[in-house]
Amino acid sequence: MKRIRRSCELLILALALLLTPAGCKKTEEKHEKQLFAMDTVMLLTAYGDAGSDALNAAADVINALAADLDPEREGGSVYALNAGAGGPVEAAADCLAVLDTALAVGRETGGALDPALYPVIKAWGFTTGQYRVPAQEELDRLLAEKNTEGILLDAAAGTAALPEGTAISLGAVAKGYAAQKAVQAMAEAGAERAILSLGGNVQTLGDTRPDGEAWQVAVTDPLDTGSYVGILRVGQTAVVTSGGYQRYFDQDGVRYIHILDPATGRPVDNGLASVTVVTADGARADALSTALFVLGEQGALDYAGAHEGVELVLVTQDGRVIVTAGLAEAFVEAGEGYTYEYP
């Protein structure tokens, strides 16, 4: 009789464990907020009792940065810097930090990222939606007028100075920086776990999801955006993807993507379809995803090999998915018609 009672007690205990998510772990309430900023639909998700406050804090940070970093919005730092080219101009600390990251990554990659490419981007119509193909003479003139090397930052004074004829855009870094700052605001508001999706920019807070499993981030199939080439299982980090499929226009049977080569002022056409960067710093991940796309397959792999903590998923136009060594065990293949390489 005692044996039967003991067996029943064990059965009840086993059922209780099965019905409790992740064993005995407490279920954390899920909170979500959607907003539109930086020309992107963003989804913010936080867990736990502080989730609602954390989402509001994150949204406040993103909206403030969107206003300050928009080169077309009067009253923002970037607008002021462009308008005051030729002398030092006061700018918000966040703006100076984003500009500093853009310049640093540009130097590290031999000019593959150039924040002073803004007049060229405008010439193509990527800022207005009024797309056109500029003549090479126009592009050459705009490239000759800019002076990226002459941009001066003075963080202590809270100023930056752009040379005459130079105008900047920080779009290649802004969303990554915003995601990083938003996650910090969420943590300060009491959130311990969160995941933010700002277009192609994903940032996580906490080493795991509430169920104790790794965060799962899909890598979009750039040749079929309704699908994906794989799933990344990650901890607390940034996962940022850049690809020609995100913004482009077609003219006379030719597709022109929004990622421009600073050397030519023309859309990049080097065989890459997308570059996904996984690294802790969201701003650098964003900047690198663009710069490494410009560098191409081998240049991107060389950069990752020389910089610890930077991992990549490259998708090529000829149907290959290249996953760097640090992600080999974290990557789950999911695409159809692709070959997978783990160099």
Q: What is the CATH number of the domain that holds 335?
A: 3.10.520.10
Please tell me whether residues 306 and 246 are part of one structural domain: yes
Please tell me whether residues 132 and 221 are part of one structural domain: no
Please tell me whether residues 121 and 226 are part of one structural domain: no
Instruction: Find the mean pLDDT for residues 271-298.
Output: 98
**CB-count exposure of residue 129 (10 Å: 0-12, 13-18, 19+):** exposed
CA distance 185 to 51: 12
Please tell me whether residues 140 and 235 are part of one structural domain: no
Taking the CA of residue 144 as centre, how many other CA atoms within 13 Å lie in the half-sphere pointing to its CB? 6
Q: What's the structural domain count of the chain? A: 2
CA distance 118 to 151: 14
Report if residue 144 sits inside a domain: yes
CA distance 59 to 166: 31
- What is the reported pLDDT for 22? 37
Please tell me whether residues 237 and 138 are part of one structural domain: no
Instruction: Find the mean pLDDT for residues 287-295.
Output: 98
Close Cβ partners of 98 (under 8 Å, ≥ 6 residues apart): 69, 170, 173, 174, 177, 283
Q: Which of 168, 174, 231 is CA-nearest to residue 201?
A: 174
The residue whose two tokens read 């969160």 is 194
Please tell me whether residues 122 and 231 are part of one structural domain: no
CA distance 325 to 343: 7
More confident residue, 225 or 9: 225
Please tell me whether residues 123 and 222 are part of one structural domain: no
CA distance 290 to 147: 20
CA distance 30 to 195: 11
CA distance 61 to 53: 13
Domain stop point among 107, 141, 169: 169
pTM greater than 0.95:
no
CA distance 38 to 65: 9
Report if residue 47 sits inside a domain: no
Provide the residue range defining the domain that includes 84. Answer: 72-169
Is the predicted pLDDT of residue 28 greater than 90, yes or no? no
Report if residue 17 sits inside a domain: no
Report if residue 319 sits inside a domain: yes
Give the model's confidence band at 27: pLDDT under 50 very low, under 70 low, under 90 confident, else very high. Answer: low
Report if residue 281 sits inside a domain: yes
- What is the reported pLDDT for 336? 87
Is the predicted pLDDT of residue 38 greater than 60, yes or no? yes
Instruction: Find the mean pLDDT for residues 28-48.
Output: 96
Instruction: Find the mean pLDDT for residues 298-304.
Output: 98
Report if residue 190 sits inside a domain: no
Please tell me whether residues 80 and 142 are part of one structural domain: yes
Please tell me whether residues 237 and 304 are part of one structural domain: yes
Please tell me whether residues 246 and 330 are part of one structural domain: yes
Please tell me whether residues 161 and 266 are part of one structural domain: no
Report if residue 185 sits inside a domain: no
Close Cβ partners of 260 (under 8 Å, ≥ 6 residues apart): 117, 120, 121, 124, 266, 267, 268
- What is the reported pLDDT for 25? 47
Q: Write the CATH number for 154.
A: 1.10.3980.10
Report if residue 239 sits inside a domain: yes
Please tell me whether residues 329 and 268 are part of one structural domain: yes
End-to-end CA distance of the chain: 63
- What is the reported pLDDT for 335? 85
- What is the reported pLDDT for 71? 96
